[in-house]
Amino acid sequence: MAALLNGIWVVLGVALLLLMSLEVLLTSYYERADKEEIVSAAKAAANADVYANADLAEGYFKEFKDAAHWPLPWASYTQSRAPDYTGKFINVNEGIRRTWNSGTINDDRSARLRIFFFGGSTLWGYGSRDDFTIPSLVAKKLAEKGTGAKVTNYAVGADVTTQSLIRFVLELRKRNAPDLVVFYGGRMDAFSACYEGKPGVPIGSSNLERISSDKEAKARVTIKLENFALTRLLTGKRKFVGCLEKLDALSDGALEVYLGNVRFVKAISESLSFKTLFYLEPQLSDKTHRTKYEEDHLLKSEKRLPGRNDIYSLMRSKLVKEYESSGQNVIHDLHDMFSDVASPIYIDGSHYGEDGNELISRKITADILALYAPAK
């Protein structure tokens, strides 16, 4: 009996040692594989048909890979901030992307319009150089029209409008008020509702809930099965359920959250005497004449999270219908911005290149000039 027990312990010990060795090897393998996936994604984006200069695109995305640091650094209230970075194409200081600003128009800097932009990664300028983001191009076009403006890009990747609103409130708390604030987005509100399975929360909220205050101590010492590399080997890559079965309810919830934020900003604007512009961004499925590259990425994005495009389209149509019936012209819907464009616009399922930024910046610039046009 003693010999049998001793043999069992030896077998168990050897098995445990093999499992530990396999866990270490798999952990190392998956770390390398995840890094390679990021690199390959950057290379794929650099080969998007929106870029005429392949060398410039490759250089940009190599820099973006170093600058991204995903997941983003933690920030109080907003959950995240853009990491600081200094490069040739990308520069971020104290979480704010560098924006083109002219010193040649209106020598009296106090006479310049102070314009704040808030939004997610498309406004931040994923795939675009500092001087060719939407805020930078708006600043350039205003200068060309003789209107001096100090433009600040407060956008952060993956921001929903509630996060953008909080960032704005934090600036107002510092008595840093603009003449005009532009909120650009809407899509992330719908995407977050689809991804998280409930509206009104930022991306990644489900992960934070797992270590909420009443569970934090337990989470520190609990060994979670899903964190093991062996589990990943056995279960494969995580697959997202999507939201096709709950499109109507989730789009209603996302709409109510978005409109609540719009109403809040409008109320503040009346008190502090600044102007507002809200834009619902376009998405790839809105583009009628898609290139083969764009068509492939549209299929990939929908396969990865079924319903992600439909929920935004539904939310947007409900929102536009509600505002048209009220006779208000507060929110600008850009769904048809690229609908008839045959040339390449999109880098992936969500982001467009500098040509797309150019078209959008023309529209926003025209709206700003109309907003400040002398009364006839």
Q: Is residue 38 part of a domain?
A: no
pLDDT reading at 376 higher than 50: no
pLDDT of residue 280: 97
Place of tokens 């809407």: 186
pLDDT of residue 103: 63
Across 108-119, average pLDDT? 83
Q: Is residue 24 part of a domain?
A: no
Across 181-186, average pLDDT? 97
Q: Is residue 7 part of a domain?
A: no
pLDDT reading at 326 higher than 90: no
Across 14-41, average pLDDT? 77
114 lies in which domain range? 71-371
pLDDT reading at 351 higher than 50: yes
Stronger pLDDT, 102 or 310, i.e. the higher one:
310
- The answer to whether the beta carbons of residues 42 and 65 sit under 8 Å apart is yes
Q: Is residue 86 part of a domain?
A: yes
For the domain that residue 211 is a member of, what is the CATH number? 3.40.50.1110
Q: Is residue 55 part of a domain?
A: no
Q: What is the pLDDT of residues 197-242, one digit of tens each?
A: 999 999 988 766 655 555 554 544 445 565 676 676 677 666 678 8
The sheet that has 96-97: what strands, in order across it?
85-86, 91-93, 96-97, 149-153, 113-119, 180-185, 275-280, 331-333
Stronger pLDDT, 340 or 10, i.e. the higher one:
340
CA distance 150 to 51: 29
pTM of the prediction? Answer: 0.87
Largest CA distance in the chain: 103
pLDDT reading at 20 higher than 80: yes
pLDDT reading at 98 higher than 80: yes
Across 132-136, average pLDDT? 98
Q: Is residue 365 part of a domain?
A: yes
Q: Is residue 91 part of a domain?
A: yes
pLDDT of residue 212: 52
pLDDT reading at 166 higher than 60: yes
Q: Is residue 57 part of a domain?
A: no
pLDDT of residue 108: 58
Q: Would you call 101 helix, strand, or coil by DSSP? A: coil
- The answer to whether the beta carbons of residues 150 and 114 sit under 8 Å apart is yes
Across 85-100, average pLDDT? 96
Give 216-250 as a DSSP string. Answer: HHHHHH---GGGSHHHHHHH-S-----SGGGHHHH
- The answer to whether the beta carbons of residues 73 and 58 sit under 8 Å apart is no
Q: Which of 78, 21, 324, 15 is nearest to 204 (CA)?
A: 78
Q: Which of 50, 73, 47 is nearest to 61 (CA)?
A: 47
CA distance 203 to 72: 12
Place of tokens 């029209």: 145
Measure the N-to-C terminal CA separation of the chain; round to a whole number of Å. Answer: 103
pLDDT of residue 54: 86
Give 23-54 as a DSSP string. Answer: HHHHHHHHHHHHHHHHHHHHHHHHT-TT-S-H
Of the pLDDT bands very low, low, confident and very high (cuts 50, 70, 90), residue 324 is low
DSSP lists the bridge partners of residue 185 as 280
pLDDT reading at 95 higher than 90: yes
pLDDT of residue 279: 97
pLDDT of residue 221: 45
pLDDT of residue 215: 53
pLDDT reading at 40 higher than 80: no
Q: State the total domains in the chain.
A: 1
pLDDT reading at 248 higher than 70: yes
Mean pLDDT (the chain, rounded): 87
pLDDT reading at 102 higher than 80: no
